Structure 1
């Protein structure tokens, strides 16, 4: 039985904000110039005559174009751009080729090349929102707010533009000295759900930069009272604003309250150190360009949650064009690289972040993880040990060190390193449940059950009724044929908390099976298979239950399907034997 799938996430693995995908043209503004059903989607203009058929052109040109498209599909934007550039040298005015070259430049993060291509792209027909957005960003970077407004106005109000366009237009208006108009631009966000926090935050920044103290006081108060009140960027910005306006006592109270709730925040910890040392607090945003960069960063964070990593990355590149010294943006960009499995790119980006910045320690830890993913485990561990030595009271580097061993299936070492992290804790708080959970799993996988059981019970003590912990401990008891009635209560509770988690439902079904309640087992295991149809272990469990209730042909089919689903190597002979001979009454079910 592969228990690790029930592990889900121990809470010690870093969560990220952005996810996969690199094709930008549609997403940047729902602005694809071409129709998916058209032959003109497949071939550039140069390959078509009036009837839509291909003309004769040098094979090298056609080959460059096709190779570029394939490279884009493979998410290798740099190679794709090279191919399209070669094709453009032969057909420089082809509008479709120009458009896809712009797409590749944006995916690569080559904003200067995108800026060079955009004026040519907008000469073509169709929706050229991507190109106009590039031109608007370029104009912003040169503080040409009038031209920026003109180009941004030409983008369509579709796709992610419904979020980004009002944000950028607000900062453009502020750059023109129109504070009321700037804040009014944000009202466009009211048409959509989920943007209230962002609107309040941006309105506070606009009022702050405009030096309208009364309005800034009111906007910050509104933001802090609303859904954005827990955002570290808002707290940091408000703290700097209070500091600039002579209210240091209020800054201290603000930061202390935040650290009470989020004691591990490196940003506010460093802000507090500056406050204690009497150093002035630097504002997050001090100009319309800074504000536009912050808006792009915020938009990237939000749309990354919609699994649009390519668009998120492009917005970050735009932000860095406007504000090159923006470490949080570089961190987010590195995370997009991680989510695309671009580990060398991620390592390079993390390495560019100043180790002394508020994000330096985290960047060093993530750089070590990227090093591990590049196949250099010893180097990764050395990096993490160095961070652990530099920060003797910190546990993050040790947790990731344990994660490295866990990922490499070195469970005994993972348990030791989680233990080192736990040993650094002066007291155990609710948020530490995941450390005991992770170490408990490592102990269980390394056949140290008494230690595993103690850690899993400790995890439940810190976080009662957590469904993952309930499931793992109860399933382990079922596997060991121990504490079955207690395990039953725990699994029923876990299923009630996570009714659509197929692994937890499977655990309850397997418990019924072990108790000999085969009809109940079938009910739960059928449900589990419907939720996790591709899991071989759950399918094997259902087959066993079918056999016990006399549904022999269905059992054999499910055993065969379990083999098709690529089970663990040690399970293959067990399932094969059951497929051949069935289950014997005197044989306990295989796990």
Structure 2
């Protein structure tokens, strides 16, 4: 075999003249560089050249799902299935394909298989109900309370009871199910409200639709305007569309655990295959792509929702995050400013803008945005997080007196919140103000959250600053164990070790800190490593 290039090939270099192994090797290199497009092109070429190699099919299956290539995913799944090696989520992929093709017999057989495999059997009752809808035998989904997975299935049940009741214009069954579903799905609340409102408006239930969309929420402006003009003509959900919503919800839930993010992204992509024109699956896929460092693909995914679509404001929020993650901070800021300036802009729009402004080091602008977010709340219902955000921006913007007032207000609202106690305490330790009182704040934060590396660092540094080096060293060692690449923690540990007489270990800690340090911090660490700890080299 010819030598493999050490860098990902241009797309044109993966051609029909390559052997399957050459294309596979190149695809693996591209995958290692997180180049989804190049990787999937390589796997597609490799699979074409060597369709019987299971390893190629396995990698192309995963990469096709992550990149959104439905045809390649199905091709790879068929090959893996023939070899008896199809992953359990592959059954979900094939069910979606059968529903989209209206092959109810195949969908039913695959659902039986999903039930037998066990992993996703809690979805069976809902999937079977959609197959019945396709066959013209409407029967609302029900879940046996004695089933060992009943509680999992119940989480998704009401949404689909509502969709199917709306398909049959049965408002008496739909409305209670809509309300229960909205209570259960707080994270997806805005998207779910829009979806239900579209279905309600489509059957002429205009007042019920508008009740789901508060007039003072900018996310609902496009939808409300369309409903009020009588332009809502949503069609009943098809089985494939209902199934797509089921997978999208499951993707969100699974991805809430970092260990499930890879599977969550695959499920979101399957949802987009089942309903390629639906906005919700693309929005979820964009969000999960950002979480898995595929920001460029996330930009493309979020952009698939048209600007005049009811869901466009939600898609634009994901687009802002994707643009920022891809390095286009200017583009993200421009869109965030536009979203935040709309009448009725939700607090989360101001928070998103504030975070981007802070990232661009416009701390005054960030603080103003966080204050704007607070304006939507009654004083006694103000979330402490917004005060923490504002206080952080003010502190970073060197407006410490104002910052302290805001942070102390946050601490009065949430006196047992470790994040506030830690920030307020550490900020004072850095400035060598009220060090004993600040140490007590950090001790309380540590007691409330003992496994947090950042808080352990604050505690150790506060102990060091107050002269208790013997206590500081184990606290900082615990912090470094929890965050071994953190430059600040390792510098603090080095300073404490040097003071404790453990100078070889101190230099080792400073060297570890220097790996990720920049600017003045890097220069200070270099000086300490060479000359040892001097007063002018001490960490702040």
Structure 1 residues 222 and 540: CA distance shift in structure 2, 3 A:
closer
Looking at structure 1, the residues matched to 219 and 20 of structure 2 have their Cα atoms a distance apart, in angstroms, of 52
- In structure 2, the residue matched to 1:161 is 120
The one of 302, 308, 311 equivalent to 1:359 is: 311
- In structure 2, the residue matched to 1:487 is 438
Does residue 328 of the first structure (1) align with residue 280 of the second (2)? Answer: yes
The one of 565, 570, 574 equivalent to 2:520 is: 570
Deviation track 1:276-317 (CA, whole Å, cap 9, x = no partner) reads x48597779634333212112112222222444444344334
Q: TM-score, normalised by structure 1?
A: 0.72
CA contact (8 A) 1:478 1:511 kept: yes
Deviation track 1:426-485 (CA, whole Å, cap 9, x = no partner) reads 465444544443343333233332233233234435544432222122111112221223
- In structure 1, the residue matched to 2:12 is none
- In structure 2, the residue matched to 1:502 is 453
- In structure 2, the residue matched to 1:302 is 253
CA contact (8 A) 1:128 1:155 kept: no
- In structure 2, the residue matched to 1:202 is 160
The one of 175, 191, 199 equivalent to 2:134 is: 175
Looking at structure 2, the residues matched to 178 and 526 of structure 1 have their Cα atoms a distance apart, in angstroms, of 65
Shift of 1:140: 0.8
Structure 1 residues 528 and 285: CA distance shift in structure 2, 3 A:
farther
- In structure 2, the residue matched to 1:513 is 464
Shift of 1:374: 4.2
Output aligned runs, 1:113-128, within 5 Å.
113-116=72-75, 118-119=77-78, 121-127=80-86
The one of 89, 108, 115 equivalent to 1:149 is: 108
Looking at structure 1, the residues matched to 475 and 155 of structure 2 have their Cα atoms a distance apart, in angstroms, of 41
Shift of 1:141: 0.8
Output aligned runs, 1:437-456, within 5 Å.
437-456=388-407
Does residue 419 of the first structure (1) align with residue 368 of the second (2)? Answer: yes
- In structure 1, the residue matched to 2:8 is none
CA contact (8 A) 1:119 1:131 kept: no
Output aligned runs, 1:200-239, within 5 Å.
200-206=158-164, 208-209=166-167, 227-228=184-185, 232=189
The one of 80, 88, 106 equivalent to 2:39 is: 80
The one of 302, 319, 329 equivalent to 1:350 is: 302
Shift of 1:394: 5.5
Structure 1 residues 314 and 159: CA distance shift in structure 2, 3 A:
farther
CA RMSD, 1 decimal: 4.2
Structure 1 residues 100 and 234: CA distance shift in structure 2, 3 A:
closer
SS of residue paired to 2:22: helix
CA contact (8 A) 1:179 1:207 kept: no
Count of aligned pairs: 518
Looking at structure 1, the residues matched to 78 and 539 of structure 2 have their Cα atoms a distance apart, in angstroms, of 67
Shift of 1:124: 3.5
Looking at structure 1, the residues matched to 181 and 48 of structure 2 have their Cα atoms a distance apart, in angstroms, of 52
Q: TM-score, normalised by structure 2?
A: 0.78
Structure 1 residues 117 and 588: CA distance shift in structure 2, 3 A:
closer
Ranges in structure 1 where 5+ consecutive residues have no aligned partner: 1-57
Shift of 1:116: 5.0
Looking at structure 1, the residues matched to 193 and 523 of structure 2 have their Cα atoms a distance apart, in angstroms, of 58
**Comparing both chains, which one has the higher relative contact order based on Cα–Cα distances under 8 Å and sequence gaps of 6 or more?**
1
Deviation track 1:239-287 (CA, whole Å, cap 9, x = no partner) reads 778889998887777767xx9xxx85835x7666677x48597779634
SS of residue paired to 2:42: helix
Looking at structure 2, the residues matched to 471 and 285 of structure 1 have their Cα atoms a distance apart, in angstroms, of 52
Looking at structure 1, the residues matched to 314 and 173 of structure 2 have their Cα atoms a distance apart, in angstroms, of 36
CA contact (8 A) 2:244 2:281 kept: no
Deviation track 1:538-559 (CA, whole Å, cap 9, x = no partner) reads 33434444455xx413x54134
- In structure 2, the residue matched to 1:558 is 506
CA contact (8 A) 1:170 1:186 kept: no
Structure 1 residues 563 and 588: CA distance shift in structure 2, 3 A:
closer
Shift of 1:528: 2.9
CA contact (8 A) 1:148 1:172 kept: yes
- In structure 2, the residue matched to 1:191 is 149
Shift of 1:335: 1.5
Looking at structure 2, the residues matched to 163 and 454 of structure 1 have their Cα atoms a distance apart, in angstroms, of 50
CA contact (8 A) 2:88 2:119 kept: no
The one of 332, 354, 359 equivalent to 1:407 is: 359
- In structure 2, the residue matched to 1:291 is 242
Q: Mean alpha-carbon deviation: is it higher for 206-215 or for 348-357?
A: 206-215
SS of residue paired to 2:398: coil
CA contact (8 A) 2:527 2:537 kept: no
CA contact (8 A) 1:236 1:284 kept: no
